[in-house]
Chain A
Amino acid sequence: MSQFAINVLFVGGSFAIYIGIAIWAKAGSTKDFYVAGGGVHPITNGMAIGADWMSAASFISMAGIIASAGYGASTFLMGWTGGYVLLALLLAPYLRKFGKFTVPEFIGDRFYSRSARMVAVICLIVASLTYVIGQMAGAGVAFSRFLEVDATTGLIIAAIVVFFYSVLGGMKGITYTQVAQYIVLIVAYTIPAVFISLELTDNPIPPLGLFSDHTASGEPLLDKLNEVVVALGFNEYTAMVDNKLNMVLFTLSLMIGTAGLPHVIMRFFTVPKVADARWSAGWALVFIGLLYLTAPAVASMARLNLVTTIYPDMAAQVENYEDAVANPIAYADRPDWIRTWEETGLISFDDKNNDGNIQLYNDATDYSDRGWQGNELVVSNDILVLANPEIANLPGWVVGLIAAGGLAAALSTAAGLLLAISSAISHDLIKGAINPKITEKGELRAARISMSVAIVVATYLGVNPPGFAAQVVALAFGIAAASLFPALMMGIFSKRINNKGAIAGMLSGLIFTLVYIFVYKGWFFIPGTNNLEDSAANWVLGISPLSIGAVGAILNFAVAYMVSSATEEPPQHIQDLVESVRYPKGAGAAIDH
């Protein structure tokens, strides 16, 4: 069977499962559509959160980013997992006890203000829309590489599948497809990792292999990797970063942002009890951890593998690295996987010194004494995971599995985000503001229509990505960190924060964060409109625009506290509401409002 046929079989088979689940899990009520009926088991929910959370970026790009940045990229590992501690301790159980359908609804009720609810709706839509475009684009790339269709066609196929199960089933359909998608993606991610770990370290468990000895050289894997990359003019893989403040704030922004992202929070509304919300956060992190503990192993092993493929003399124990780098492979002898990926443009070669060999090294270092005229092989971070099975010479079905896994990661996150957007429109905007008298049936229809519109918009933006699509980390996490997380947390932990304080806090956190990002990245991300060049030398105190969300969050807390202290206390029934979300008793009943 050809590789193409295998890929079609795996991807088609997984899609058939998702569609089967959609038909089985059709939503009959708004409660089904928004919170899957409220009866999801915590382990099931944990698995669904895992798929909801792990996006095309986690699956496809993260290991590649770690491979090229080494220790410095630990920010993503800690930031995208540490946020779950904040969710479990500070938000999830209380928001579950509150027992409503959406995140803006809590903000609107707690701060007795329709304006606060609308600010939350806008933040939610901007953050989720930015996020979903990347998922659609990621699905398009996976389709074009593995199924030989162009990216636009791929994207439209993906949109139709998502349409099917999310419009029919809402949260109910999404929950159970996410469980299936989690299984597909984790199997696809770990199988090649196990093989590469066995090949390099003889240890079948990648996270243990990372800290074991490299079989071919007999040295610890990370030592070997450090030596090899230093010989090519790079920093040590495990080298400390200079700017610790920025690394701390970047990690903190990702953690707070993770905890404030509505598509994750709303998954906690689907469990029956407060205790289940706590447990499902733990299970979620177990399931997420399986991938996040594997990723750094894949990263370092794939980097070592790539370098020793180009410089075979470096593979075993090396006495003198100057000699070992002298014999790179000839371009004509490159392995098949490089040929395959050259066709996608994600690997490119340019023989700068015309010697017919491949020189892969750090351009910033001058190696003209070695006869090198510049780095000749450019490898995109995005191919590392996707090409892993081919690099490790694994059978064709593993490649098919990776294709299905990448699509599962992209589609499951896209569905969660689209649900967050559509429920904000149908529940917060239509029922909450425009037409409060809408019937249950009418609201369910409105939810399905807004879901359909959101899918069409996301697909269009996936085909024609606007400038902000690439700014997921800055924009989505920045907004969630600076506006939503502090408002939610203060709503639970303080009875004194009133409507004025909350609105002033959210707006100042949001505006401060956006302005700081726009100054360096361009106003509304229009190229050329930035006031300062986006480089470390220009950043205030060395804080990058990606790390500013944490500062925005602190500002939000401070402004909300000051404004609330200067104005009146919230009314008694609001203080009673805060009391009630703090105690688990009665959560089962709370959702049947």
Chain B
Amino acid sequence: MADDKSNAAAYWKANLRLITGCLIVWALASYGGAILLRPLLAGISVGGTDLGFWFAQQGSILIFIGLIFFYAWKMNRLDKQFGLGE
């Protein structure tokens, strides 16, 4: 029982670590690249405009899609690894 408990706790901790990592990328792509850091990225040009504009109107959405699939894939592996899947 104690093993079950520590196993579950380890699974949850791994999940929280994964969520934190993903949310950092999420925030960097949208609030970072597209808004707050846009002036810093102004020198990098993409198809007639700057990288920040690309993040705001295209890049962030692509990154969001990638993040969700990455998270789903990682979690499925964690589910199996800790024997908590279905």
A224 to B49 alpha-carbon distance, docked (Å): 11
A168 within 8 A of B: no
Shortest beta-carbon distance, A49 to chain B, in Å? 12
CB contacts under 8 Å to B, within A554-593, are 579, 582-588
Q: Which of B23, B30, B52, B62 has the most CB of A within 10 A?
A: B30
Give which listed residue, B15, B26, B48, B62, contacts A222 with CB less than 8 A.
B48
A539 to chain B, nearest CB (A): 18
Interface residues of B in 33-53 (CB under 8 A from A): 34-36, 38-39, 46-50, 52-53
When distances are taken between beta carbons in the complex, the residues of chain B under 8 Å from A240 are: 38-39, 52
Total interface residues on B, using CB and 8 Å?
A: 42
CA distance A211 to B59 in the complex (A): 12
Residues of A within 8 A of B23 (CB): 85, 89
Chain A interface size, as a band, is: 35 or more
Check A507 for interface membership: any CB of B closer than 8 A. no
Are B35 and A282 interface neighbours, CB within 8 A? no
Report A546 CB to chain B, min CB distance, Å: 16
In the complex, which residues of chain A have a beta carbon less than 8 angstroms from the beta carbon of B11? Answer: 583
Asked whether, in the complex, the Cβ of A88 is within 8 Å of the Cβ of B72, the reply is yes
Which residues of B approach A to under 8 Å, CB–CB? 8, 11-12, 15, 19, 22-23, 26, 30-31, 34-36, 38-39, 46-50, 52-54, 56-58, 60-62, 64-65, 67-69, 71-72, 75-76, 79, 84-86
Given contacts A210-B58, A281-B68, 19 further A-B contacts (CB under 8 A): A78-B60, A81-B60, A82-B64, A85-B23, A85-B26, A88-B68, A88-B72, A89-B19, A211-B58, A222-B48, A223-B49, A224-B48, A251-B31, A289-B65, A583-B84, A584-B84, A585-B84, A586-B86, A587-B86
Interface pairs (19), CB distance under 8 Å: A71-B57, A82-B26, A85-B22, A88-B71, A88-B72, A89-B22, A210-B47, A211-B49, A213-B48, A222-B49, A223-B49, A238-B49, A244-B36, A248-B36, A275-B86, A282-B68, A285-B61, A289-B61, A582-B8
> Closest 9 CB pairs between A and B?
A220-B48, A211-B47, A74-B56, A278-B72, A282-B68, A296-B57, A222-B48, A223-B48, A222-B49
